[in-house]
Amino acid sequence: MLAGYAPRTPRRAPRLLILGTAVALVGGACGSPPTPTSPLPGSVVPQATGGPSTSADYRDASLSPRARAAALLAQMTLDEKIGQMTQLENGSVDTAGVSQTQFLLGSVLSGGDGTPPENSPDAWYQMVDAYQQAALGTGIGIPILYGIDAVHGNSKVVGATIFPHNVGLGALDDPVLVKAIGRATAVEMNAIGVRWNFGPVVAVPQDVRWGRTYEAYGEDPALVERLSGAFIAGLQGTDLAAQDAVAATAKHFVGDGGTGWGSSTAQGSSIDQGVTSADDATLRSIHLAPYRAAIDGGVRIVMASFSSTNAGKVTGDHHLLTDVLKGELGFSGFVVSDWGAVDQVNADYPSAVAQSIMAGIDMVMVPYDAARFQAAVRQGLASGAISQARIDDAVLRILQVKFEMGLFEQPMPLAGRADAVGASADRDLARAAVAGSAVLLKAGAGVLPIAPSTGSVLLAGPAANDIGRQSGGWTMTWQGGTGPITPGTTIADGLRARLGDRLLYEENGAFDAGVSADVGIVVVGEFPYAEGRGDSATLALPPDEVALVAAMRPRVKRLVVVVLSGRPVMLDGVLETADAVVAAWLPGTEGGGLADVLLGDVPFHGTTPYTWPDTPEDAPRTGRGPCDGAVFPVGFGLDASGRPLGPAACPGATP
């Protein structure tokens, strides 16, 4: 146990407030005086004074997390309770001045673009530790939970291992490996002081035009269940309080992957955050199924979806959040809303807050303005729109998870483990995942694997030598980026390590006239994107990169095209021109894994986790047969000799 981390004796004032990364002592700044609060109706809540239950002490680690949460709840002021329900993004806590710092908080998050000024493991740890120390000095001293989107490795941190995005892991379909990735991710997260991961995405996308397709494992609910369950098990381990365990989040509840093209009203989106109008049976069989498995697998946090059903925004839907998730599915952890999603429930903010909380949201990802949120909760309580019982239930759930995580005993993971970030064992794991996730879509006879003894190999395409391009969105930043955004091995690096000087790389294919070779490789790819900005009506690859395929053709006997994408894309100008086509998805930092399959060290194993639609309009899949409007059915992939590893290509698909 770390010195100085013992929970403090309950006290009321003065309060310690978070001021940047420093902690300042300010007397009575938190507005109203402590408000006595009532216990949960109908529950046996130990009281602070009087009665036989006075012995219940939340600091007593021999009690159950539930009993400790109840004991603590009974001592809390209304300010403290509302504080636990508040999640702010780090910029709003850190830089927005004193007005944003005078609030008790249950959680701080780094959103897609939230990092410490210097993005290093140590700077992350110090930032989280500063928030934690400030929280421990505030009121009763309830530790915060710090959360990030570590959705393909500890993917916000420069130097971390970036694993393939989930689409690639779906192609690989190896639960043992996915569990190991969860474990590695948890260890790399603990090294930066963070114990809450906003993942896995358990969406079951039914239309690959969605900009979040790559965040999910695939279109088959059984596959999503299998792999998300493995990832949760890896993140959480067998004991949430154990050193290096991280709390997982199943998101986004429910139906985020079922929205219809054109149904979104979110700015810049067409399908992201839209409306899922599936009937109840379909909603359950496709979109709800993974939650049942995740809950059985011990997930303690669920994030509500931005999206709607025909009944309105899920974030304000009592039936789905309370009757179905907490009732029918028996979810006893807490529900966090998505980024500002509560604001979308009603144009009138206090009404939106009341509706969402009464629907079953326990913690609100505000994320900027805590004062406005906390005032809205108070207003709802005063008007009767929000019940005290609902607030108590929300806080009890949040506290219970914090006790289960051992945060009161050890609010911060061990310091000084920055070496774990990007550790070589994790990179080896990622490399194996990259090799295993590559899907061979076309395999001309004798084209692959490339014999290591081959002569010169011509390589073209800017994406062949770009860590940002091969990593996609949610890498360092929300939208991702291009170029050397974090250390790693590009596809070109990986090939060069094997072929040495025999690899001739021209980014734009501008080889000297007359240069030719037995083998040419062109890498073409989507540019990074996240969420609605990745919604695509065309599923098109950049035309100038596709043009490199035709330009390479006359120079080589055997032409291999590697496609980097977050989803099936249109392969005009690729499929008919190349001798072999490899879907590499978004492999992350370990591009060496591609060389491993291309050169035959590892056999091709991957199969597409999404139907490959014939046209963009064929993208919606619910209710359609495997080859209805498809080039390749879900589960399609070839071995190097061209034999299908799963179902055959759809009739007339491969030229």
Question: Which residues are part of the catalytic machinery?
Answer: 338, 531
Closest approach, Cβ 576 to ligand BGC, in A, equals 38
111: Cβ contacts below 8 Å, ≥ 6 apart: 89, 149, 339, 367, 478
Closest approach, Cβ 306 to ligand BGC, in A, equals 6
CB closer to ligand BGC out of 305 and 577 = 305
CB closer to ligand BGC out of 352 and 630 = 352
Q: For residues 85 and 364, is the Cβ–Cβ distance under 8 A?
A: yes
Give the total residue count for the chain. Answer: 655
DSSP code per residue over 316-338: G-HIIIIIIIIIIT---SEEE--
Residue 110 pairs in a beta bridge with none
**Where are the extended beta strands (E) located within 29-182?**
86-89, 107-109, 145-148
74: Cβ contacts below 8 Å, ≥ 6 apart: 37, 39, 45, 46, 47, 48
Closest approach, Cβ 111 to ligand BGC, in A, equals 3
CB closer to ligand BGC out of 112 and 350 = 112
CB closer to ligand BGC out of 149 and 618 = 149
**C-alpha separations of 568 from 88, 101, 304 in Å:** 36, 45, 27
What sign has the CA pseudo-torsion 365, 368, 374, 379? negative
Closest approach, Cβ 250 to ligand BGC, in A, equals 11
Nearest alpha carbon to residue 202 among 159, 155, 256 = 256
Closest approach, Cβ 525 to ligand BGC, in A, equals 23
Closest approach, Cβ 148 to ligand BGC, in A, equals 8
3-state SS of 247-293 is ECEEEEECCHHHCCCCCCCCCCCCCCCCEECCCHHHHHHHHHHHHHH
First-to-last alpha carbon distance for the chain, in angstroms, is: 64
Task: Report d(CA 404, CA 652) in Å as an integer.
Answer: 55
Closest approach, Cβ 113 to ligand BGC, in A, equals 4
CB closer to ligand BGC out of 214 and 636 = 214
**C-alpha separations of 443 from 39, 324, 561, 599, 644 in Å:** 67, 47, 11, 14, 10
Residues 633, 634, 637, 643: what is their CA dihedral angle, to the nearest 10 degrees? -50
Nearest alpha carbon to residue 276 among 264, 266, 285, 267 = 264
- 3-state DSSP assignment of residue 364: strand
Written as six digits, the tokens of 354 are: 């009341």
Please give the distance of CA 585 from its chain centroid, rounded to a whole number: 16
Residues 499, 500, 502, 506: what is their CA dihedral angle, to the nearest 10 degrees? 100
Which residues bind to ligand BGC, rule: CB under 6 A? 111-113, 149, 198, 251, 338-339, 478, 531
Closest approach, Cβ 14 to ligand BGC, in A, equals 33
CB closer to ligand BGC out of 511 and 527 = 527
Task: Report d(CA 190, CA 136) in Å as an integer.
Answer: 19
CA atoms within 13 A on the CB side of 68: 22
* Backbone angles phi and psi of 48, in degrees to 5: -70, -35
Closest approach, Cβ 338 to ligand BGC, in A, equals 5
CB closer to ligand BGC out of 108 and 503 = 108
